[in-house]
Structure 1
Amino acid sequence: MPVRAVTRTLSDDPLGGTVRRTVLPSGLRVLTEAIPAMRSVSFGIWVAVGSRDETGPQAGAAHFLEHLLFKGTKKRTAMQISAEIEAVGGETNAFTTKEYTCYYARVLDEDLPLAIDVMCDAVADSVLEPADVETERGVILEEIAMHDDEPGDEVHDLFARAVYGDHPLGRLISGTEETVTPMTRRQIQSFYRRRYTPPQIVIAAAGNLDHATVVKLVRQALRGTPLDTDPAGPAPHRAATPAVRTRLAATVVEPKETEQAHVILGCPGIDRTDERRFALGVLNNILGGGMSSRLFQEIRERRGLAYSVYSYASQYADSGLFAVYAGCAPGKVDEVLELTRAELRRVAADGVTADELARGKGMSKGSFVLGLEDTGSRMSRLAKGELLYGDLMPVDELLTRVDAVTLEDVNALAAELLSRPMSLAVVGPFEENAFAVSR
């Protein structure tokens, strides 16, 4: 456990700037990437707490708390929090995922001290007024209802439930009406103080900045708050074992009178530390990662059966998903599913071509590098590297890892992954048992 701040340089990346990391005595970590050519800075506070850290009755607590932390502190009202940042043309926002929560601001470089003070105040010292709890409860219940009116979003949650069942990874991040309605301020406050501790927090910033100045400003902003604690070591990143147990292949249908049917066909994938994740990225690009992908070409371009069709991979500390989504007319679902299954079987059995491999690798490298063109994505990269992996992989090394993916790597992964029993999630005008047997 550090009794004083410990700083080291992680990289001097030719494709970016100098990355430095400081561990404060409390265990809180500060990472920055100095990019002098930029005139903006993105500043984020990342907490290693998400919806999977909730018990069943707590479902939605992390997301509820995210809403509340912008509602006022001992120093600022909700209006002051937003007005101070907006007065300098900046922007703030936050989001909750299944494994972490992020609060961030983007401002001109000269306004970084203000952003640090406001954001640290909001995250460290929110008062959670009872009246604000009730106001945000109403907002969240409206958000849940709105989500139910978006079948294209709902089907993804339905698929997660089909694979994970009652495991927290299968639950809604927002919680449900049944869990959010009775949740008390005391429960949220307890979740806040137990979970938001310095060892669980990573602060990241990228843009035109000085690392030592950022560390100094963070320490000043947190002095005297509940995050100004006794010495501790940083919490290790979330363990990858034991692996999450998934359900046997299941079919879940949400009957809904929609003009378009939304379907997801997929299976358990690999976790985010699996060495095959680079091969999976390439395989995903080949199958459904763009307009030149197999599924897009077959289902949309050649046959015109769906406006949107793509594949995706979600990866967690100890599990993952691989899936294909399509939105189509209800009467075309059978044909879309048949073509999707046939394509997955074909790739599992016959593999992909050398040309497809080259294209898939090029897409992976290009999308990654192009994604680093703004300070927000660079800030996120710092935080995720530290929070999810305990390390920051240099850009050149990541590109090298993608380049090293071979045809044998992709084909071996395809043979294993795409041969797994597939779960199906459907939202549309169907009976609940409409897909109980192969149609």
Structure 2
Amino acid sequence: MTSRTHRTTARTSSEGRAVARTQTLLKGAAGAGTVRRTTLPGGLRIVTETLPTVRSVTFGIWAHVGSRDETPSLNGATHYLEHLLFKGTERRSALDISAAVDAVGGEMNAFTAKEYTCYYARVLDTDLPLAIDVVCDMLTGSLIEAEDVDAERGVILEEIAMTEDDPGDCVHDLFAHTMLGDTPLGRPVLGTVDTVNALTAERVRRFYKKHYDPTHLVVTAAGNVDHAKVVRQVRRAFEQAGALDRTDATPVAPRSGSRALRTAGRVGLLNRKTEQAHVILGMPGMARTDDRRWAMGVLNTALGGGMSSRLFQEVREKRGLAYSVYSYTSGFADCGLFGVYAGCRPNQVHDVLKICRDELDQVATHGLSDDEIHRAIGQLRGSTVLGLEDTGALMHRLGKSELCWGEQMSVDEMLSWIAAVTPDEVREVARDVLGQRPSLSVIGPLKDRQAARLDDVVA
């Protein structure tokens, strides 16, 4: 059992000046699951979760920057920079970086999202000092040489091409653009061929210096870790790089705001020669801070979150019209999306869309049954716990919670919130979200008469 506590200790220098502040955010039995946060005077936050029964650690550094922080001409810069931080520092070449982690059997990677970026390494607990040194060096000492920028440009263009060749992936970018338009959230994380070709080393360096200040970074580690040792090692690495020179800096606050999406009846179509038609039917959802997000999670699970869900049963099990069909939610700081995805033969696209639209309308009008809701609550509780059974998932939860909410929630608290959802709350959310007029995105080889009928789906 994990309990919540906010015990705070402040370390001071010999002159009496506070230099670090440590808080025990969650206290676990016998130390397991204990979450601590230390904030250094340069504004750098270090959050750890201790699991003494495992032999691995996942160490990560999160940057409070994503593709939504880009101007139109900089679209793709955040992802480009993610690649470039692996290309070398004053102390290590690109080969040195990868070889150091490979030599101890570790794994290292990174990812860019619309509101944050993460760099991480998973290693044996005894090799954690190496992982800290390598990842911190990458984040604080990247050279971003012009030749590396030019060489990596080809790699990123291939990644864009790979995404374009995967319509099941590409349709999600199309749906975001259909719903959010030419806005930072509506543009693709990878950027476009034109914007990536236009990025220069100097522009990327300026972006790096602006967004990778310690006040924008959160360091996380989950596994068999000693919090005090992690703090000392991280602090040493940042100080050696001269990244903690400011002593009066404070961490940036989580993103905030409220923006109501007013999209309805929009249709995005990419006519391509694919074997399947890939469709997403959806509407505005909820911001990630919305108090109703727990009920939204239950609704999403019951609608398209598993083999017993409404959509899976109606589209796949009863009619055999699709292999993959599911629903999902995306929550951002100020808005959100809800979507239903399906991949089917092109000549059956309208049958699939009609079933999906009918089910959404049915649930919006009449709600889900109590049995469906209780089953979804149980499924969501179980998947929440099972999804946090490794150090990588725990590290991800620590970083995202710190950046997006500014606080840590225990697994028990999350399970309590899910269990407390009532059928009436789920039905109210269904009316509010599913009762909106949907929009639609489609990729596939639709004939002219099929394409002409798409407007009827969202009417």
Q: Deviations over 1:178-206 (max 9, x none)?
A: 10101110000000001111111000001
Which residue pairs with 2:330 in the alignment? 314
Which residue pairs with 1:63 in the alignment? 79
Greater Cα shift, 118-127 or 16-25 = 16-25
CA distance in 2, matches of 1:434, 1:309: 24
Report deviation, 1:306.
0.3
SS in 1 for 2:337: strand
SS in 2 for 1:170: coil
Which residue pairs with 1:12 in the alignment? 27
Which residue pairs with 2:283 in the alignment? 267
Which residue pairs with 1:99 in the alignment? 115
Q: Deviations over 1:107-152 (max 9, x none)?
A: 0000000000000001111001111101111100111111111100
Which residue pairs with 1:323 in the alignment? 339
What aligned pairs does 1:41-60 form with structure 2 within 5 A after superposition?
41-60=57-76
1:376 aligned onto 2:369: no
CA distance in 1, matches of 2:407, 2:455: 46
What aligned pairs does 1:382-397 form with structure 2 within 5 A after superposition?
382-397=398-413
SS in 2 for 1:385: helix
Q: Deviations over 1:70-102 (max 9, x none)?
A: 000000000000001110000100000000000
Report deviation, 1:51.
0.1
- Checking the alignment, whether the CA contact within 8 Å between 1:45 and 1:201 is kept in structure 2 is yes
Q: Which amino acid aligns with 1:207?
A: G
1:438 aligned onto 2:453: no
Equivalent of 1:209 in 220, 225, 247: 225
Q: Which amino acid aligns with 2:109?
A: N
CA distance in 1, matches of 2:44, 2:127: 23
SS in 2 for 1:437: helix
What aligned pairs does 1:148-297 form with structure 2 within 5 A after superposition?
148-231=164-247, 232-239=249-256, 241-243=257-259, 245-297=261-313
Q: Deviations over 1:351-394 (max 9, x none)?
A: 11111111110111111111111000111111111110011112
Which residue pairs with 1:77 in the alignment? 93
Report deviation, 1:435.
4.0
Q: Which amino acid aligns with 2:170?
A: E
Report deviation, 1:268.
0.7
SS in 1 for 2:19: coil
In structure 1, list runs of 5 or more residues that go unmatched. none
What aligned pairs does 1:410-421 form with structure 2 within 5 A after superposition?
410-421=426-437
RMSD across aligned C-alpha pairs, in angstroms?
1.5
CA distance in 2, matches of 1:431, 1:96: 36
SS in 1 for 2:360: helix
CA distance in 2, matches of 1:226, 1:139: 31
SS in 2 for 1:306: coil
Q: Deviations over 1:395-430 (max 9, x none)?
A: 111111111100000001101111101010000002
Q: Which amino acid aligns with 2:309?
A: S
Report deviation, 1:436.
4.7
SS in 2 for 1:111: helix
1:360 aligned onto 2:376: yes
- Checking the alignment, whether the CA contact within 8 Å between 1:164 and 1:246 is kept in structure 2 is no
Tell me the TM-score normalized by structure 2: 0.93
Q: Which amino acid aligns with 2:358?
A: A
Equivalent of 2:442 in 404, 417, 426: 426
CA distance in 2, matches of 1:380, 1:75: 28
Report deviation, 1:434.
3.1
Q: Which amino acid aligns with 1:201?
A: L
CA distance in 1, matches of 2:243, 2:326: 43
Q: Which amino acid aligns with 2:369?
A: T
CA distance in 2, matches of 1:249, 1:96: 30
CA distance in 2, matches of 1:245, 1:269: 9
Equivalent of 2:161 in 108, 132, 145: 145
SS in 1 for 2:407: coil
1:402 aligned onto 2:399: no
Report deviation, 1:16.
4.7
- Cα 1:109/1:361, change in 2 over 3 Å: same
Tell me the TM-score normalized by structure 1: 0.97
SS in 2 for 1:398: helix
CA distance in 2, matches of 1:402, 1:291: 20
